[in-house]
Amino acid sequence: MVRRLNNSASDFDAAFDSFVNASRDGGDDVGAAVRNIIAAVRKEGMAALAQLTQEFDGFALTDDNLRLTQTEIDEAEAACDPEDLKALDFAVTRIRAYHEKQLPRDERYTDDAGVVLGWRWTCVDAAGLYAPGGRAAYPSSVLMNAIPARVAGVGRLAMATPAPKGEVNPLVLAAARRAGVDEIYRIGGAQAIAALSFGAGEIAPVDVIVGPGNAYVAEAKRQVFGHVGIDSVAGPSEILVVADGKNNPDWIAADLLSQAEHDPSSQSVLITDDAAFADAVAAAVDKQLSNSPRRAIAEAAWSDNSAIIVVGALEDAPALVNRLAPEHLELAVDDPESLMSDIRHAGAIFLGRYAPEAVGDYVAGPDHVLPTARAARYASGLSVLDFMKRTSIIGCDEAALGAIGPAAACLADAEGLPSHAQSIRVRLKPRK
């Protein structure tokens, strides 16, 4: 049975703190195992990839079948349902249009001291994209990972995806083609992250690795960070729905289960000011679970990690939302804008009763790779900027250095760095 909380209860603060801080990582320490995998790939390259792929995916990986050929991609696309391909094309158009608006602009100006200042943005040379292929394959994740990289101008996109028994979901391959992926490799898990980071076989290293995955993938990204850039260390999926009693409980139940069905470690939370509506949603969830083909997964997430919270007024919700800092936030209320004005921490916010989180997973436009595990307190979802970096520009002529140099030399002296100070003073005109 799902956890129930009420903010009028005397023990609510303690109960809510316990809920916020509860671990959903499954308790497995994968750090040592991932370290060994990364070390093996760095040392043995393709031989390690072959051994690990045979062990985890039951596939005899070789130099000849590591990378999918254009013929294989053609055949996969031909096997796809035309309606699915049409939906992919629709999603590509919307996702690209949204991300094109994120492109930053360079800046250059001369300040009052005559110093030329500014910045310019440039993209990385190569990006590695991880496309999950465990409990389910997600063509949508391919679009969300690759399109912002292409919009940023990245020249080489290399994708790794698990291929149990050597097979890759045809729609994943069709999505990769539409998103502009250059290379697709039949590898998954921590070994794929290691190969993208350090190179293995014909796989050349990349500069940035993005994309969600299981605990081993997340830990591998954590361990290679610094050698390459990463988007984030993704955790289990989350949804928080703030809803009043005017909603259809079946709609809200479906929204809550949309994330619960991802993984047993997922979390779904309802905050409402209507106790009777809370009961109706709970009953609707139970009914929908009974008919779900992913019942075992969703039921575990619902009973172990989720909650229904009844508050005295909807105005109490933003403070709780900010504490939870959810990956996805739905505001299914009459005036979502007023509630949103008090919310600072959420990966993505869905406004109104007709904006279910699932539309954001596929075709709304914004990226669905979002901060989890309360990382929305300090992090953002994947964007064009994850594939770009900003370079500062500083230019001085003699007069400009004369205006700002003495203070810089003074600070260098104060820090005990005489050569810093000297490199400035030798350029300054002697005082008369």
Domain residues of the chain, as ranges? 3-24+235-364, 31-108+122-230
Contacts of 276 (CB under 8 A, 6+ apart): 245
CB 99 within 8 A of CB 147: yes
Query: For residue 295, how many other CB atoms are within 10 A of its CB?
Result: 15
Within 325-397, residue ranges assigned H as helices are 336-340, 357-362
CA dist 296 and 212 (Å) reads 22
CA dist 175 and 142 (Å) reads 6
CB 205 within 8 A of CB 160: no
**Catalytic annotation present for 238:** no
Residue 14: predicted pLDDT: 96
CB 320 within 8 A of CB 16: yes
Q: Counting beta carbons within 10 angstroms of the beta carbon of residue 185, is it exposed (0 to 12), middle (13 to 18) or buried (19 or more)?
A: buried
Strand pairing report for 229-230 and 208-210: parallel
Residue 134: predicted pLDDT: 54
Within 46-124, residue ranges assigned H as helices are 46-57, 70-78, 82-100
Give the pair of three-digit tokens for residue 379. Answer: 């992090």
Residue 212: predicted pLDDT: 87
Does domain 31-108+122-230 fall under CATH 3.60.15.10? My reply is no
Residue type, 196: L
Residue 432: predicted pLDDT: 57
Residue 269: predicted pLDDT: 98
* Per-residue CA distances from 378 to 62, 274, 347 (Å): 42, 32, 10
Residue type, 233: V
**Fold equal for 3-24+235-364 and 31-108+122-230:** yes
CA dist 350 and 359 (Å) reads 9
Residue type, 44: E
Residue 28: predicted pLDDT: 65
Residue 378: predicted pLDDT: 96
User: What CATH number belongs to 3-24+235-364?
Assistant: 3.40.50.1980
For residue 324, what is the enclosing H or E element?
A: helix 317-324
Choice among 77, 327, 330, 357 that is catalytic: 327
Q: How far is CA 196 from the centre of its chain?
A: 18
For every one of its 432 residues, what pLDDT tens digit does the chain have, with 9 covering 90 and above? Answer: 899 999 999 999 999 999 999 988 655 689 999 999 999 999 999 999 999 999 998 999 999 999 999 999 999 999 999 999 999 999 999 999 999 999 999 999 999 999 999 999 999 999 999 998 755 679 999 999 999 999 999 999 999 999 988 889 999 999 999 999 999 999 999 999 999 999 999 999 999 999 988 889 999 999 999 999 999 888 899 999 999 999 999 999 999 999 999 999 999 999 999 999 999 999 999 999 999 999 999 999 999 999 999 999 999 999 999 999 999 999 999 999 999 999 999 999 999 999 999 999 999 999 999 999 999 999 999 999 999 999 999 999 999 999 999 999 999 999 999 999 999 999 997 765
> Could you tell me where the beta strands, DSSP code E, fall in 285-327?
307-310
Residue 230: predicted pLDDT: 96
pTM: 0.93
Contacts of 203 (CB under 8 A, 6+ apart): 66, 158, 183, 185, 195, 196
CA dist 26 and 215 (Å) reads 9
**Catalytic annotation present for 227:** no
Choice among 262, 328, 345, 368 that is catalytic: 328
Q: Counting beta carbons within 10 angstroms of the beta carbon of residue 6, is it exposed (0 to 12), middle (13 to 18) or buried (19 or more)?
A: middle
Q: How far is CA 97 from the centre of its chain?
A: 19
